[in-house]
Structure 1
Amino acid sequence: MAGCCKQYTDNWKYPTILLCLFGFFVNLRAVEPFFAAYLIGPHHNLTAEQVSASVFPVWTYSNLALLLPVFLLTDYLRYKPVIILQGLGMVISLLLSLLTHGVPAMQVMEFFYGIFSACDPAYYAYIYSVVDIAHYQKVTGYCRSITLVGVALGAVIGQLLVSLAGISLVYLNVISLTSTSVAFLCSLFLPLPSRTMFVHRKMAGDTTNILSKEMESPHSEQIQSVTITETENKSKCSNQCLQLLWRLGAVLSFLVGYVKVNWDVFGELALTIFSAIDAGAIFIFMVYSRNIWMCYAGFIIFKSCYMLLITIATYQVAVNLSMERYALLFGFNTFVALVLQTILTLIVVDPRGLALDIVTQFIVYGSYFIVIAGIFFVRSMYLLIPLYCKGPVNQLQSAIKAKTHHYGIN
């Protein structure tokens, strides 16, 4: 019996299921879409200015400050302790928001939320240290899609309870606390990676273009922030838009795990196409359209493509690493993204910078994605043209098949 249990826990499915359960429950936070209203409401009675100027910025600063030591230490700690810390950070954050009051207490609450956010790279890095490289594509799709399912279901539950049952936001916080507590318990049962982090089980190709694969991250979050802020007077529509977005993103992320494409050969071409679609969605639907529903449609197209791209990029990064320093690279990418987002905000949005109007901001974002699409296009041609020029199409197909076999894709 013990041998049977040991064999099951050593299987790649066991840590994948546990990690997906953690990702689902930790993101099943019904109070999340209403959190600002919860702080301004009768339970805390803070002003909108206190929330926006004194409370929420603590998360940004703490996340940025904690991210650097976290991603430097995560690989040495072997991921599991950091995932446990992530779950604990969210539990403490929700407890403080439920039991304490006042601006200083809410700032401490945001600090623990910053701990949760800073530990996020460990969630995506952990699975690559406990499963074989042949399963990387599937587990990437599973782990990303399940978090989006949790976010979508949490938003739906919150919206239904508030709109139909008229339930207090305090009870939404209790539901969220219960869910994150379950996630914390799941993290305790994750198996600790046993193999050394300095030797990858299967050496993979070039890593020179890894950082370029996540260049879109800061601008995706910036566009989401601006879009939702500008439509906050239609908050119910915004919530429904986000619910649809998370569902669509979950489906796309899940399907990526089953697409039989050699991303090492065609990955940059896919990034080119979807980056161009993102640019088109920004210009056609958000810049030149004055209809709110067209803006929502453009935002859904843009963010769905981004979720698809980030899933592909994460899988490709993990496959191409020659040493198991997943958290170091994922964390560094996140850190760079936060720095770029801060710089972008200071230049484009902040009154101390250019303080551009909303339409001009989106022109800047769309132009950025055109540049990104151009970079990926040049890279894709650099990879594909030499393969094609070496001989007939069947030789190109043979090269693709050889690379496919190398990465364990049937």
Structure 2
Amino acid sequence: MDAYRRYYVPCHAGWVGPTVLLCIYGFCSMMRPIEPFVTVFLTGTYKNLTTEQVTSQVIPVWTYSRAVLLVPVLLITDFLRYKPVIVLQSLTYVTAFLLILVGSGVHSAQLAFFFYSIAMAADVAYFSYIYSVVPPSYYQRVTGYVRAAILLGYAAGASLAQLLVSFGVPLYYLAVMTLISVSIALITSCFLPMPKTSLFFNEAYSVDQTKSSVDVNNSESWDFWVKSVTAAKYAGMMFRTLILDCKKCYSSMAVLFFCIWAATGRCGFYQVSSYVQVLWVYIQPNNFTAYNGGVDAISTLSGAAASVAVGHVSLEWSVWGELVLGGFTLLIAGALFLMDLTGNIWISYTFFFLFKTVYMPLTTICTFQIAKKLNRRRYALVFGLNSFVGTVLQSVLTAVVINTNRGLNLRVTDASNPLILFQFIIYASYFAAISLLFTVRGVYTVFHMKAARRSETTTCSPGSSHSPKTC
């Protein structure tokens, strides 16, 4: 046992051990071969659900549940110091795919998507954990490793799915492989070291507890009362800090607009990704040898490469960033319009590839522009709030477009009337509206910045009455 400890502790004491474990966890939790074909699996002979049931009863459960769960998970993640939430995430992944594999009926599928929503809401723990166990000097390197592991896991799962489906392997075995992969992630999460401190919540609570236990009598009831009062005061202090931090973060118009795109873009991306398989089922029904997995894998890798390329683009993002977002968001809207109007599966695949390839670098631009202007302590808060706003918007969009009782109840497509406003036309219009907003804002920013610089140049020109210090 002593020999084991001598070997095990140094690995966790540095940055290598936690990073390796987190990369293994990220790869295995994201390698889910059944996902590119989950709609086909649910509507096929395995589960015998109708496309209408999957569209209006099953998938919306994931959207609504995630909107409800995101705030509680965000609040407890830092307080619990990340690891318990990561373990919960892997456990809910296992439960979700176990239900998809062995369950039957609409209620079983809804329960599976509910557990899946818990896992997705817990993503904030995964992305925050690494910064609490490694020194700041390794942040950039570790972030690259972790994100690479996630993308490789997703691409590997989609590629494996496509390869097996092309060789006629039943989808049931893809579900089994997915369950095995997330089970390995669950085992790996148990070996992650527990962070000693959190990023946002400091140790004031524990210090107050220690002082209280020293100063008061040994009476258990009195000690419990003091601890309760201390906890209540600490909770109030932290909520006030959260409100003040939110006010500081969103007081900058530049940060605010990048956050708006991050939230609205996330909403549209997940809405399209959730229902694109349903669209493909309508375009090419009963096509077991579809290339959903291949398209998903290639578009993920292409988007990742584009995101890396954006990091090396030499551009004054504070001036041109909003205009870039507006222009490329219009490209996304056009891709979605054409994806829905075409009756050819290969053209639809091509435009989905374009959609995903363009979206990923745009969200990368928003991420590093927001991060540049924020204190490190506020990263989890702002990114968590952006995710929450995006999820709430997604819930509203789902209620309006999908809900069978009160919404528009628009079908994904209808071969008998291709000119009607279909579901993906709504999504395309949504991105077109975002594009218009950011194009107008981008043009204003460019002219405003240029006017400010001309004014500054004129003020500081030779012969002006201003002193050099003023200039």
Give the TM-score range, shorter chain: 0.7 to 0.9
> Cα 1:214–1:385, aligned 2, differ >3 Å: closer, same or farther?
farther
SS state at 1:195 partner: coil
> Cα 1:145–1:286, aligned 2, differ >3 Å: closer, same or farther?
farther
Tell me the amino acid that sits aligned with residue 67 of structure 1.
L
Aligned twin of 2:421 = 357
1:95 to 87, 98, 109: 98
> Cα 1:268–1:346, aligned 2, differ >3 Å: closer, same or farther?
farther
1:276 to 327, 334, 339: 327
| 1:19 equivalenced with 2:19 (yes/no) | no
**For 1:39 and 1:289, how far apart are their aligned partners in 2?**
22
Aligned twin of 1:220 = 269
Pick which of 366-375 and 146-155 moved more. 366-375
1:237 deviates by 4.3
> Cα 1:272–1:127, aligned 2, differ >3 Å: closer, same or farther?
farther
Pick which of 268-277 and 85-94 moved more. 268-277
Instruction: State the Cα RMSD in Å.
Output: 3.7
1:286 to 332, 337, 345: 337
1:189 deviates by 2.3
**For 2:178 and 2:127, how far apart are their aligned partners in 1?**
22
**For 1:185 and 1:142, how far apart are their aligned partners in 2?**
20
Aligned twin of 1:250 = 304
| 1:84 equivalenced with 2:126 (yes/no) | no
Aligned-pair identity (%) = 35
1:124 to 117, 124, 127: 127
Contact kept? 2:26, 2:150, Cα under 8 Å: yes
**For 2:51 and 2:275, how far apart are their aligned partners in 1?**
18
Greater Rg, structure 1 or structure 2?
2
Name structure 2 gaps, 5 residues minimum.
203-247, 411-419, 459-471
* Equivalenced residues, count: 384
| 1:371 equivalenced with 2:371 (yes/no) | no
Compute the TM-score of the two structures, normalised by the length of structure 1: 0.78
Contact kept? 2:56, 2:403, Cα under 8 Å: no
Alignment of 1:85-234 (within 5 A): 85-164=88-167, 166-198=168-200, 207-208=249-250, 209=255, 211-212=259-260, 214-215=262-263, 216-225=265-274, 227-232=276-281, 233-234=283-284
**For 2:88 and 2:401, how far apart are their aligned partners in 1?**
35
1:76-114 deviation digits (Å, cap 9, x = unpaired): 111111111101100111222333434333333222112
> Cα 1:390–1:148, aligned 2, differ >3 Å: closer, same or farther?
same
**For 1:52 and 1:289, how far apart are their aligned partners in 2?**
16
> Cα 1:131–1:85, aligned 2, differ >3 Å: closer, same or farther?
same
**For 2:453 and 2:35, how far apart are their aligned partners in 1?**
49
1:244-282 deviation digits (Å, cap 9, x = unpaired): 1112123334556x74869xx635634532441231343
Pick which of 75-84 and 315-324 moved more. 315-324
Tell me the amino acid that sits aligned with residue 431 of structure 2.
Y
> Higher relative contact order at CA 8 Å, sep ≥6: structure 1 or structure 2?
1
Aligned twin of 1:301 = 354
Aligned twin of 1:397 = none
Aligned twin of 2:230 = none
